[in-house]
Structure 1
């Protein structure tokens, strides 16, 4: 995902909210602790490839059982067509309030659910008449439909394209600042992070001077090693920050997306809904694209023939962006759904109540869909990928993300024609501790 995303549990702040206390519970970051480690940690020697556990499972079926460390059994989807089928099927739920995901269960609950599934008992969703929160990434229709429609009205293709000139200004400004400061820089704080952060702040009407308040807390929420206490503190601070922002927009509206949601939604959104929606947009709007810009640059520098091809033919930039999205697939293991009834996918029966994990990094390298998918090829004929998801939860900010990456990569390779790593590739710190993969820093030089 990139930009404001709707790719399930690994986007936004990585949390659900409690209407009374606001901060995190049932965090997807915490859920990674019950996943086998080999499915999450990419190798230093080949950081752009899927985790070794995914590669080792190749050939074992496009849909296969996935034992979890809490004793539950989920289902892993690694095939492209099978993944599309799951993400488009309304019998697979995104609702984390009505349905429990296996990765969030303590061992005793996992054992009880496994026994119920074995007995073929029907799934009983939590008895909630209607959702009153705004966490649309964890919703099914009809609640999801209303919020999605409101947001789609704000993220129009025309509005996104109109931003291209401003995005170019931001990119050029930061590249020139890097050059003025010397011949070396850490590309993450100097370029990759501020570019999408500035854009999403301007879109939402957030003072960029406040960026540390949401960037640091979002990082804690997305860190799989954060303790529940750390995650709760970060969630509380984020919630307070957004609450203040919503109150300010209600009192003094401006020409930004959040003001539009505050004053134009019919029927009006509550403060609780507005806060949740803003948390999703602000968190996802800088984390994902920032990591694509940094990791994508790293990948280009490690594939000099592809970088040279892009420099020689700037017209490759659109296909280059799509290929990098496919090749890198930064949403770590992927996205998840819960089967609300027994469903057969790829010839495999998935029982009602089971959690299905769509392994996006592996799905986007399905050999039945791409030739030589483990190779970065900027000239590859374009084909659909699932980096932005699929179905009703497909990333609503994908056009913005594409523009940010198209401009970000193009300006970088054009204005710094001798850009190269300033450290050994094996020394670049990988974000294996984060739900959104990338690099913590990327030392580069152009001297």
Structure 2
């Protein structure tokens, strides 16, 4: 089960547990209503038309959830920024989903997305210096080398190549190895664990088991770094903060980097490549013009918005958003894909335009919970797309019948078979 599908399951559990406390009989109720899953569905690369219809009718609307739980869907751009930018008014704490006891049992996803200030503030302050462009610049040679290695592997395959398996998944996994400072001899294990935790077919138990194994593995890496700090993120944190951050926190931060930077970037690499394969004008533009890559990547981030909804917010107080009264305890879900196609951002947003001037999109979120690895993701995308089309100028789909994820917080395609000759 992929991490974000697991979060859907946790949200469902929260609804069910809250309903049970209210005395409802849930013996025959196991899933959220289909209407509540609409923001997680797509038609190919595009959100389902229902999402635009909901946004047009009202930028903040109530999702019809049973059990007397108030859940609000935010689809308007300005309203989304209002919610995402209000860390004081909303809680992201993981315990909201599973309870204090359940948070331990369910293996918190880690990272900053499910933490509130002041803990979130402290941890983000530790990480932020490691994600500046100056610090990230050291990764540029490694990123280029990883991409070239993957292109070589694709070229060596006889027949159709699965671009997801051979290109989109390995690149962010190995880049995160570079970032964290994982020793080269350990990278096979790291890559196996990073992929296993997102195994859709292994089930929840397998996924949670992989996460537990990953945390144990990362604790071992942290212990090695503690004895001999390297130049990666873990080593730098140890050098600069020493005993102010313990091994468990370091492993959790590393796990959060893996959580936030692996599947999202992999989905962008695969779906962005699909856009290039379906639009030969864009393919030629990126092949020929280095200067066009920046705008193309920003437009892809907006158009695809692979993280379709932000982590759920839990209102700490009564407030008004988009003319709607939100009550303390209500759940607010922000549709990032809906907000990024709101006409207030510009004209003709339902199509990808590689020459569009960059918009202030929400693909990386907004506010204190904005993705801390945004610039690293941009570095990978800006390097990978031109390298791919220039190495394989005749790149084309081997099969038009693609299997997209049906209901997913992180949208993607399961396989992308291509011919490279």
TM-score if structure 1 supplies the norm length? 0.80
Given candidates 428, 431, 434, the residue that maps to 2:402 is 428
Which residue does 2:223 correspond to in 1?
A: 247
Which residue does 2:17 correspond to in 1?
A: none
How many Å separate the matches in 1 of 2:282 and 2:136? 28
Q: Is contact 2:181–2:230 with CA below 8 Å preserved after alignment?
A: yes
Shift of residue 297, structure 1, vs aligned partner = 0.6
Which residue does 1:95 correspond to in 2?
A: 92
RMSD across aligned positions (CA)? 2.7
Q: Is contact 2:286–2:385 with CA below 8 Å preserved after alignment?
A: no
Counting only pairs closer than 5 Å after superposition, residues 73-222 of structure 1 correspond to structure 2 as: 73-97=70-94, 100-101=96-97, 135-182=111-158, 184-206=160-182, 207-220=186-199
Which residue does 1:329 correspond to in 2?
A: 305
How many Å separate the matches in 2 of 1:72 and 1:89? 22
How many Å separate the matches in 1 of 2:414 and 2:213? 23
How many Å separate the matches in 2 of 1:73 and 1:40? 19
Residue 72 in 1 paired to residue 69 in 2? yes
Shift of residue 357, structure 1, vs aligned partner = 0.5
The alpha-carbon distance between structure 1 residues 177 and 374, as it changes in their structure 2 partners (threshold 3 A), is same
How many Å separate the matches in 2 of 1:245 and 1:435? 30
1:75 aligned counterpart, secondary structure: strand
Deviations 1:257-308 (A, max 9, x none): 1122234326611222122111111232221111100111112212233323
Q: Is contact 1:134–1:147 with CA below 8 Å preserved after alignment?
A: no
How many Å separate the matches in 1 of 2:366 and 2:165? 31
Q: Is contact 1:330–1:436 with CA below 8 Å preserved after alignment?
A: yes
Shift of residue 174, structure 1, vs aligned partner = 1.8
Larger helix percent: 2
Q: Is contact 1:214–1:283 with CA below 8 Å preserved after alignment?
A: no
Residue 364 in 1 paired to residue 340 in 2? yes
Residue 409 in 1 paired to residue 385 in 2? yes
Q: Is contact 1:388–1:394 with CA below 8 Å preserved after alignment?
A: yes
Shift of residue 135, structure 1, vs aligned partner = 4.3
How many Å separate the matches in 2 of 1:76 and 1:267? 42
The alpha-carbon distance between structure 1 residues 238 and 432, as it changes in their structure 2 partners (threshold 3 A), is farther
How many Å separate the matches in 2 of 1:445 and 1:171? 18
Q: Is contact 1:134–1:272 with CA below 8 Å preserved after alignment?
A: no
Shift of residue 216, structure 1, vs aligned partner = 3.2
Residue 30 in 1 paired to residue 10 in 2? yes
Shift of residue 180, structure 1, vs aligned partner = 3.2
The alpha-carbon distance between structure 1 residues 304 and 335, as it changes in their structure 2 partners (threshold 3 A), is farther
How many Å separate the matches in 2 of 1:159 and 1:292? 23
Q: Is contact 1:91–1:341 with CA below 8 Å preserved after alignment?
A: no
In structure 2, stretches of 5+ residues that fail to align are 13-30, 100-108
1:136 aligned counterpart, secondary structure: coil
Residue 344 in 1 paired to residue 320 in 2? yes
Deviations 1:98-138 (A, max 9, x none): 6x35xx69xxxxxxxxxxxxxxxxxxxxxxxxxxx974322
Larger deviation, residues 173-182 vs 81-90: 173-182
Q: Is contact 1:49–1:328 with CA below 8 Å preserved after alignment?
A: yes
Q: Is contact 1:333–1:358 with CA below 8 Å preserved after alignment?
A: yes
How many Å separate the matches in 1 of 2:293 and 2:287? 9
Residue 60 in 1 paired to residue 20 in 2? no
2:57 aligned counterpart, secondary structure: coil
Which residue does 1:258 correspond to in 2?
A: 234
Which residue does 1:438 correspond to in 2?
A: 412
Q: Is contact 1:429–1:441 with CA below 8 Å preserved after alignment?
A: yes
How many Å separate the matches in 1 of 2:316 and 2:228? 44
The alpha-carbon distance between structure 1 residues 166 and 212, as it changes in their structure 2 partners (threshold 3 A), is closer
TM-score if structure 2 supplies the norm length? 0.85
Q: Is contact 1:38–1:52 with CA below 8 Å preserved after alignment?
A: no
How many Å separate the matches in 2 of 1:69 and 1:440? 32
Shift of residue 334, structure 1, vs aligned partner = 3.2
Q: Is contact 1:430–1:439 with CA below 8 Å preserved after alignment?
A: yes
Residue 314 in 1 paired to residue 290 in 2? yes
How many Å separate the matches in 2 of 1:237 and 1:396? 25
How many Å separate the matches in 1 of 2:75 and 2:39? 12
How many Å separate the matches in 1 of 2:38 and 2:4? 21
